[in-house]
């Protein structure tokens, strides 16, 4: 199923552009050389009645121009055929050798190799984040994820911005984020969440529809350019919709009222390398019916539970007599090790995967 926001994407490249690709140029050079050897060998075999070894030997020394003498005396027809092989073959072999040299030393080939390595890295990722769009908001998101050592992939449709990503060494996929093929290249079926920050609500809607179709359980966070589009984005399948204008205004007001509180949250964002973060878990059946105080989360894991959500109701600083049920959302703060222990406590049989540090390039 495809919801493409750009009708130009998905069209086949023109024949000249495909032929100019480094791998295709190498294939063409190899094909022409092998074809000449086959034609030359067949020609000498049928014209001169030579065996296979003599025929292929004569063909190779003629094409290479090494200057050896004829294997056997040539008939007049054999002489004409040899002129043909020299005229057509030597020039073709020379072009093939030049092509191989140019391709092996070209920047285009190096970029093809970089692309292959990037796709290999993306395929190795699991429980990662997909960011659709690398504008100002997209860049801020990647910085936040990178500072907390979360693995991520960026989908960008603008070749100029994709070149920035390449130069910065960030994993990316060039293409339309509403395309099933592009989303699958980004590893959507193994991703933890997708964040779409395209500059248009219509594009974000297409991306949400495609992503939700490919991974029904995926957490999708969407940007709303127009506040009126928020309910529509939820209907399209977004898990959470953020309006930067509304959130920005709220945050400025909160900073004016409670500067220390917002400074604390800002400190988490800027604490590069500390791996301390807020994390949301979903409680499994193992804690169903148990009191919050019985769990002793802080003592057993080191992570601090700051709030829980039961049936869309948030309870900050939960009391010890609060009864937890399956599906309770638990918001905790801690480092990666502490949060993993929390995940194991909440669901021992199938603990939620806490996002790992950035994957290194596979060898």
* Pairing between β-strand 313-316 and β-strand 329-334 as defined by DSSP bridges: unpaired
Portions of the chain given CATH number 3.40.50.720: 111-242
| pLDDT average, residue stretch 221-246 | 92
pLDDT of residue 45: 85
CATH for the 275-352 domain, from 3.40.190.10, 1.10.3720.10, 3.90.79.10, 3.30.70.1450: 3.30.70.1450
pLDDT of residue 346: 87
% of residues, the chain, pLDDT over 70: 83
Global confidence as pTM: 0.60
pLDDT of residue 9: 41
Portions of the chain given CATH number 3.30.70.1450: 275-352
Compute the distance between CA of residue 182 and CA of residue 145 in angstroms, rounded to an integer.
Answer: 21
pLDDT in tens, 13-68: 444 444 455 567 777 778 888 888 898 889 888 888 888 888 888 888 877 766 56
Lowest mean pLDDT among 124-128, 131-135, 265-269, 324-328: 265-269
DSSP secondary structure of 278-303: EEEEE--GGGTT-BHHHH-HHHHHS-
The answer to whether 163 and 109 are in contact (CB under 8 A) is no
pLDDT winner (highest mean) among 21-25, 78-82, 191-195, 281-285 = 191-195
pLDDT of residue 68: 62
Provide CB contacts within 8 A for 205, sequence distance 6+. Answer: 232, 233, 236
| pLDDT average, residue stretch 168-192 | 92
111-242: CATH topology is: Rossmann fold (3.40.50)
Which of 223, 135, 134, 121 is closest to 174 using CA atoms? 134
What are φ and ψ of residue 111, in 5° steps?
-70, -40
pLDDT of residue 29: 75
pLDDT of residue 19: 47
State whether CATH 1.10.275.10 applies to domain 16-104: no
In Å, how far are 67, 80, 83 from 76, measured between CA atoms?
A: 20, 6, 11
Greater confidence, 99 or 168? 168
Portions of the chain given CATH number 1.10.287.70: 16-104
Compute the distance between CA of residue 335 and CA of residue 274 in angstroms, rounded to an integer.
Answer: 7
The answer to whether 38 and 44 are in contact (CB under 8 A) is no
Predicted confidence (pLDDT) at residue 2 exceeds the cutoff of 60: no
pLDDT in tens, 275-301: 677 888 888 888 888 999 999 999 999
Predicted confidence (pLDDT) at residue 5 exceeds the cutoff of 90: no
Mean pLDDT of the chain: 82
pLDDT of residue 121: 84
pLDDT winner (highest mean) among 44-48, 113-117, 346-350 = 44-48
pLDDT of residue 8: 43
% of residues, the chain, pLDDT over 90: 31
| pLDDT average, residue stretch 260-272 | 71
């Amino acid at each position: 199923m495809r919801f493409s926001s750009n009708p130009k994407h998905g069209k086949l490249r023109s024949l000249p552009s495909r032929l100019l690709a480094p791998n295709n140029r190498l294939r063409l050079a190899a094909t022409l050389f092998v074809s000449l050897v086959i034609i030359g060998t067949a020609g000498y075999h049928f014209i001169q009645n030579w065996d296979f070894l003599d025929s292929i030997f004569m063909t190779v020394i003629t094409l290479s121009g090494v200057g050896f003498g004829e294997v056997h005396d040539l008939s007049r027809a054999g002489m004409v055929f040899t002129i043909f092989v020299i005229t057509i073959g030597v020039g073709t072999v020379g072009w093939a050798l030049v092509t191989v040299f140019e391709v092996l030393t070209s920047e285009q080939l190096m970029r093809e190799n970089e692309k292959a390595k990037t796709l290999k890295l993306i395929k190795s990722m699991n429980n990662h984040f997909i960011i659709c769009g690398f504008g100002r908001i997209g860049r801020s998101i990647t910085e936040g994820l990178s500072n907390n050592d979360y693995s991520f992939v960026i989908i960008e449709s603008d070749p100029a911005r994709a070149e920035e990503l390449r130069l910065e060494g960030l994993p990316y996929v060039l293409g339309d984020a509403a395309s099933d093929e592009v989303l699958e290249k980004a590893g959507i079926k193994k991703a933890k969440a997708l964040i779409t920050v395209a500059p248009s609500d219509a594009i974000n809607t297409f991306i949400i529809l495609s992503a939700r179709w490919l991974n029904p359980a995926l957490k999708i966070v969407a940007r709303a350019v127009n506040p009126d589009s928020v309910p529509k984005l939820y209907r399209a399948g977004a898990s959470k919709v953020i309006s930067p204008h509304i959130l920005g205004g709220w945050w400025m007001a909160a900073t004016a009222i409670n500067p220390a509180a917002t400074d604390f949250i800002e400190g988490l964002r800027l604490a590069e390398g500390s791996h301390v973060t807020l994390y949301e878990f979903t409680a499994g059946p193992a804690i169903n019916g148990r009191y919050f105080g019985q769990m002793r989360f802080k003592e057993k894991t080191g992570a601090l539970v700051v709030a829980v959500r039961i049936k869309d109701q948030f309870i900050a600083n939960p009391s010890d007599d609060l009864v937890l049920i399956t599906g309770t959302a638990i918001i905790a703060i801690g480092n990666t090790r502490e949060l993993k222990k929390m995940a194991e406590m909440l669901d021992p049989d199938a603990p939620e995967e806490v996002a790992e540090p950035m994957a290194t390039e596979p060898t």
